[in-house]
Amino acid sequence: MEFHHRPVLLGECLEGLNIHPDGTYLDCTLGGAGHSAEIFRRLGAGGTLVGIDRDADAIAAATARMAKLGGAARFLPIHGNFHDAKALLAAAGVARLDGALADLGVSSYQLDARERGFSYHDDAPLDMRMDRAQPLDARAIVNEWSEDALTKILRDYGEEKWARQIARVVCDRRRRAPIERTSQLVDAIDAAIPKKFRARDGSHPARRTFQALRIAVNDELQPLEPALRDLTDMLAPGGRLCVIAFHSLEDRIVKNAFRDMADPCVCPKNLPVCVCGRKPTVRLVTRKPITASEAELGENPRARSATLRIVEKLLPPDAGERAAAGT
């Protein structure tokens, strides 16, 4: 299958990045280069685009696509996890960014490639790894983790109210035979949730469980908040960070991290002046998340749950004083 990526909230991201032709920009989640290709088209001869992805297929496909745009010399692909962006960019000799974009969703290719095991609609091996070189996959979690551990990830990462029942059925079935395929897991979930209590919004009963397993396999949430802080640290003053989230757990982390960086003061509200000394490092470009338009939803239903938040890096608090002193 060809690696493709239909970029979500594309116009909003491009506007939010406020791209300068000679700047250096980072696509934290390269995918099929849907966003990257449009960012690159807006760069001039002095501009550079860096792309990170943990999926080797994405790196290969994006590199080929960028070569067709004539961007081989000004495009730097990096195989890795954007949670490690600071170290990865330092190793590549990139010291400062003028903007960064992180699309936290699973790519269309990963969802549609049956053998990757991300979808509950197809029968496939239980995998769900974004980086297929890593040892942990969904099969290991489903077959080896305890009932309590399974319950916890389904509850915490999937917000699944039937977490205990699903975990119990899974553990009962795996004692008879390993659960190795997505269809087997879907059957177990179907048996665990009484039909009269199924979601009234028409969503698939396995959706939350598959989300939880994918998050656990790829360790998507725990490193996210420090990664956002690292990315803002690497921004030049005026540079912007755009983050697209696809479920409430991600969006809550992004919202809270951005809010804390924009208003870090911990002084009691009744104090007339701040005495804690904590100064904002960013300003909120979006106080409320941007969502997809009806026109985009008509073309790409997967954009329905997408939310975009943007911050802009501020000058260091003492920048004016240092400039005046000539330092």
Predicted local distance difference test score (pLDDT) of residue 311: 98
Same domain, 20 and 96: yes
Q: Is 120 part of any domain?
A: no
**pLDDT tens, position by position, 210-239:** 999 999 999 999 999 999 999 999 999 999
Asked whether residue 308 is assigned to any structural domain, the reply reads yes
pLDDT (0 to 100) of residue 32 = 86
Q: Mean pLDDT throughout 47-64?
A: 93
Residue 1 lies in a domain: no
* 49 falls within a domain: yes
The rounded distance, in Å, linking the Cα atoms of 240 and 25 is: 10
Of all residues in the chain, what percent carry a pLDDT higher than 90? 78
> Contact 125/180 with Cβ under 8 angstroms?
yes
Strand-strand pairing, 235-245 and 97-103? parallel
Looking at the fold, whether 99 and 231 belong to one and the same domain comes out as yes
Residue-level pLDDT at 197: 79
Question: What does pTM read for this prediction?
Answer: 0.90
What CATH code is carried by the domain that includes residue 146?
1.10.150.170
**Number of folded domains in the chain?**
2
Q: Read off the amino acid at residue 91.
A: A
Q: Place 105 in a pLDDT band, splitting at 50, 70 and 90.
A: confident
Domain stops at, among 194, 218, 242 = 218
Average pLDDT over residues 63-92: 92
The pLDDT-based confidence of 324 (bands split at 50, 70, 90) is very low
What percent of the chain has a predicted confidence (pLDDT) above 70?
93
CATH code assigned at 76: 3.40.50.150
Pick from 188, 218, 248: which residue ends a domain? 218
The residue among 320 and 200 whose pLDDT is bigger is: 200
| 175 & 317 share domain | no
Residues 172 and 239 in one domain: no
Residue 40 has pLDDT above 60, yes or no: yes
- Cβ pair 306, 292 in contact under 8 A: yes
Residues 225 and 100 in one domain: yes
Of 190, 218, 246, the one marking the end of a domain is 218
Query: Which residue type, as a one-letter code, is found at position 98?
Result: D
Q: Which of 33-42, 191-200, 202-211, 281-290 is predicted least confidently?
A: 191-200
Note the pLDDT of residue 326. 55
Buried-state track 174-213, b at ≥16 Cβ within 10 A, e below 16:
beeeebbbbebbbebbeebbeeeeeeeeeebbbebbbbbb
- For residue range 288-322, list pLDDT tens digits in order: 999 999 999 999 888 999 999 999 999 986 665 55
In this structure, are 154 and 296 located in the same domain? no
- Letter for the amino acid at 297? L
pLDDT for position 318: 64
Using CA atoms, how far apart are residues 14 and 35, in angstroms rounded to an integer?
A: 8
Q: Are residues 99 and 149 in the same domain?
A: no
Q: In the prediction, which pLDDT does 72 show?
A: 72
In the structure encoding, which two tokens stand for residue 10, read together?
Answer: 């594309």
**Does a structural domain hold residue 112?**
no
Whole-number pLDDT of residue 271: 85
Q: Is position 39 within any domain? A: yes
111 belongs to a structural domain: no
Q: In what order do the strands lie in the sheet with 24-27?
A: 75-79, 48-53, 24-27, 97-103, 235-245, 307-313, 282-284
Least confident of 33-37, 42-46, 141-145, 196-200: 196-200
Question: Does the residue 2 lie in any domain?
Answer: no
Please report the pLDDT score of residue 202 as a whole number. 67
Q: How far is CA 71 from the centre of its chain?
A: 25
Q: Are residues 78 and 167 in the same domain?
A: no
What average pLDDT does range 144-172 have in this prediction?
A: 97
pLDDT-based confidence at residue 106 (cuts at 50, 70, 90): confident
HEC letters along 268-307: CCCCCCCCCCCCCCEEECCCCCECCCHHHHHHCHHHHHCE
Mean pLDDT of all residues belonging to the chain: 92
Residues 6+ apart with CB under 8 A from 21: 42, 43, 44, 46, 47
- Domain co-membership, 263 together with 319: yes
**204 shares a domain with 236:** no
**pLDDT, mean of residues 140-161:** 97
- CA torsion angle 69 71 72 78 (round to 10): -110
pLDDT given at position 1:
45
In a shared domain, residues 253 and 198: no
pLDDT value at residue 184: 98
Examine the domain organization and report whether 179 and 306 are in the same domain: no
- Residue range(s) defining the domain that contains residue 64: 10-104+221-325
